[in-house]
């Protein structure tokens, strides 16, 4: 004949039953899942760029439109103004859908120019393009590359993009007096906010 459970056994059985019915097992609680990243900002309407600011390297420069030179290459701003960035006006505007292009000098015969420190940017640094409609397109840097001029991957650098992106290009790489700079510094960035 079975003996009835002791008081201690009945208490343990009651506690186990309560735990089972309320789900309070000795299982560590899972942390809540991380919040999803915010959706990417929508493309901004077309508006002319007027100023470029890159706080990490002290750039605060007006922007002028540039087109193509006689050889079919992208023009650069006049060398007389070392603190001037050029926007390729035959392409998209910074902040609008697509891949906008900003160019400028790294130096001139008078010393460092607007993009002197461009190659020292890092992933996540921001750049702001102020626009004629009063808005600002803020971009975050994705990559910083030095690409050879002799084998410049124009199709990759200048390709069309669905999201708003910008490429900032200047001279870089090795330098000799005879040939000038051997490469280009190319910063690729994507729109993170419309201010």
Q: What is the pLDDT of residues 76-99, one digit of tens each?
A: 999 889 999 999 999 999 999 999
Question: What is the pTM assigned to this prediction?
Answer: 0.78
Domain encompassing residue 73: 49-194
Phi-psi domain of 32 (left: phi exceeds 0; alpha: psi -120 through 50; beta: other) = beta
In a domain, 145, yes or no: yes
Question: What sign for the dihedral angle of Cα 140, 146, 150, 153?
Answer: negative
In a domain, 74, yes or no: yes
In a domain, 23, yes or no: no
The domain total for the chain is 1
pLDDT of residue 178: 83
Weakly modelled stretches of the chain, pLDDT under 50: 24
Rg (CA), the chain: 29
In a domain, 6, yes or no: no
Contacts of 80 (CB under 8 A, 6+ apart): none
In a domain, 182, yes or no: yes
pLDDT of residue 149: 84
Report the CATH number at residue 186: 2.40.260.10
* Helix, strand or coil, per DSSP, at residue 8: helix
In a domain, 106, yes or no: yes
pLDDT of residue 7: 64
């Amino acid at each position: 004949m079975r003996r009835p459970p002791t008081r201690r056994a009945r208490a343990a059985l009651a506690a186990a039953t309560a735990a089972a019915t309320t789900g309070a097992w000795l299982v560590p609680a899972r942390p809540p899942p991380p919040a999803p990243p915010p959706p990417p900002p929508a493309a901004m309407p077309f508006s002319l760029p007027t100023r470029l600011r890159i706080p990490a390297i002290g750039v605060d420069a007006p922007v002028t439109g540039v087109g193509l030179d006689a050889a079919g290459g992208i023009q650069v701003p006049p060398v007389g103004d070392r603190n001037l960035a050029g926007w390729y006006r035959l392409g998209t505007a910074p902040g609008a859908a697509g891949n906008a292009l900003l160019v400028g000098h790294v130096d001139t015969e008078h010393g460092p120019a607007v993009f002197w420190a461009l190659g020292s940017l890092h992933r996540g640094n921001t750049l702001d393009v102020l626009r004629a409609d009063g808005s600002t397109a803020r971009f975050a840097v994705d990559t910083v590359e030095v690409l050879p001029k002799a084998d410049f991957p124009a199709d990759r650098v200048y390709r069309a993009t669905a999201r708003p992106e910008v490429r900032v290009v200047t001279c870089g790489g090795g330098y000799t007096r005879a040939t000038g700079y051997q490469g280009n510094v190319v910063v690729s960035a994507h729109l993170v906010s419309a201010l």
